[in-house]
Amino acid sequence: MRLLINRFVLGLSTLSALIGLAFLGWILITLFVKGISSFHFNLFLTDLINGGLRNLIVGQLILAAIASVIGIPLGMVAGIYIREYGRGKYAELIRNLSDIMVSAPSIVIGAFVYAIIVVPTGGTSGFAGSIALAIMMIPIVINTTDSMLSLVPKELREAGIALGASKYKVIVDIVIKSAKVGIMTGVLLAFARIVGETAPLLFTSETSNYFSLDLTSSFPSLTVSIYDLANEPEKASRDLAWAASFILTVMVLIINLTGRFITRNKG
């Protein structure tokens, strides 16, 4: 009887794992089938106004890239502070707050940036969108940097200091170097996460039908346009939304897997 119960429960547990995999498979297959059927290479060559996705893909990448340029250095340096310099309560407080901010509702961050940038500057802009994404990114990078630095053995730091190196030298030349791979993975995963975000962009960058490199006005965003297109009644719009979703997911999964692959090989 005990063995029977054991079998039954273990079976249920395996079944749940299969259910989880089934959802993943179902979503990916749907995306693949719907995406491929409306996919053609012209999508990369024309802008949304002409039925393509070029401006949206470029726009989304630019938004995420600018967010990274702002968010990664700030997050890394802040992570270095709470692990290497910070002592006691303050560093612990920052660590905890950034831990909470990782899970904070992204739409609220959008509303915050709307209030501090969009309203004063008089309109949505690529700049505001990038800031919103950067605010999402900073705590993620802080957490990764913090936990990767914690893996660096104390002896390495002590050896550096014993050789007469300054604390700054030890951090830059020894600690960062040995945690480089882990931090890079974390950064890639953070990028993969924000590049697929929609909610913080809805009222900060909005989206645009045209190709644009002008960060001071509404900026083309792949995710925001997917939301708009998917809600339109015409089938053509929805097909375009599926193709865009397919491209977005492939992009996110490739970046995500690259990150994991780096750690596996060198970490």
Partner 1 sequence: MEKLFQKISLASASLVLVILLGIFITLFNASKPAIDEFGLGFITNPVWNQEVAIEGLANDEVAPTNQAESAEINEDIITTGDEMIIDEDEHSDTKTTKTIFGGFIPIVGTLLSTLIALVFALPIAMGIAVFLAEIAPKNISHIVGIAIELLAAIPSIIFGMWGLYYFAPIISDLFGGYQVSLLTAGLVLGVMILPFMAAVTRDSMNTTPDVLKESAYALGATKFEVIKDIIFPYSKVGIIGSIILALGRALGETMAVAFLIGSIFSLPSSITSPTVSIPVAMANNFGEANGLGESALFYLALILFVISFTVISIAKFYFLRGVRK
Exactly one of 63, 72, 142, 175 binds partner 1 (CB under 8 A); that residue is 142
CA distances from 6 to 56, 95, 161, 232 (A): 53, 42, 56, 51
CA distances from 114 to 65, 85, 110, 156 (A): 20, 34, 6, 45
Q: Whose Cβ is closer to partner 1: residue 53's or residue 248's?
A: 248
Q: How near is the Cβ of 233 to partner 1 at its closest, in Å?
A: 10
Exactly one of 44, 50, 167, 214 binds partner 1 (CB under 8 A); that residue is 167
- Give the binding range for partner 1 (CB under 8 A) out of 37-45, 114-122, 153-161, 174-182: 114-122
CA distances from 193 to 27, 134, 239 (A): 18, 11, 24
- Closest by CA to 124, choosing from 138, 110, 135, is 110
Amino acid at 259: G
Q: At 41, is the secondary structure helix, strand, or coil? A: helix
Q: At 215, is the secondary structure helix, strand, or coil? A: coil
Strands (E), the chain: none
In contact, 141 and 83? CB cutoff 8 Å = no
Would you state the structure tokens that stand for residue 74, as one six-digit string?
A: 């700030």
Binding pattern for the stretch 198-217 against partner 1, x by CB under 8 A and - elsewhere: xx--xx--------------
- Give the binding range for partner 1 (CB under 8 A) out of 38-46, 49-57, 73-81, 209-217: 73-81
- Closest by CA to 83, choosing from 162, 190, 167, 192, is 167
Binding pattern for the stretch 34-63 against partner 1, x by CB under 8 A and - elsewhere: ------------------------------
Exactly one of 44, 85, 153, 214 binds partner 1 (CB under 8 A); that residue is 85
**Residue 68 near partner 1 by CB under 8 A:** no
Q: Whose Cβ is closer to partner 1: residue 168's or residue 213's?
A: 168
**Residue 135 near partner 1 by CB under 8 A:** yes
Q: At 214, is the secondary structure helix, strand, or coil? A: coil
Q: How near is the Cβ of 59 to partner 1 at its closest, in Å?
A: 15
Residue 39's contacts (CB-CB under 8 Å, 6 or more residues apart) are 243, 246, 247
Q: How near is the Cβ of 166 to partner 1 at its closest, in Å?
A: 5
Would you state the structure tokens that stand for residue 186, as one six-digit string?
A: 């974390």
**Residue 6 near partner 1 by CB under 8 A:** yes
Q: How near is the Cβ of 153 to partner 1 at its closest, in Å?
A: 17
Exactly one of 209, 256, 258, 263 binds partner 1 (CB under 8 A); that residue is 256
Q: Whose Cβ is closer to partner 1: residue 66's or residue 109's?
A: 109
**Residue 178 near partner 1 by CB under 8 A:** no
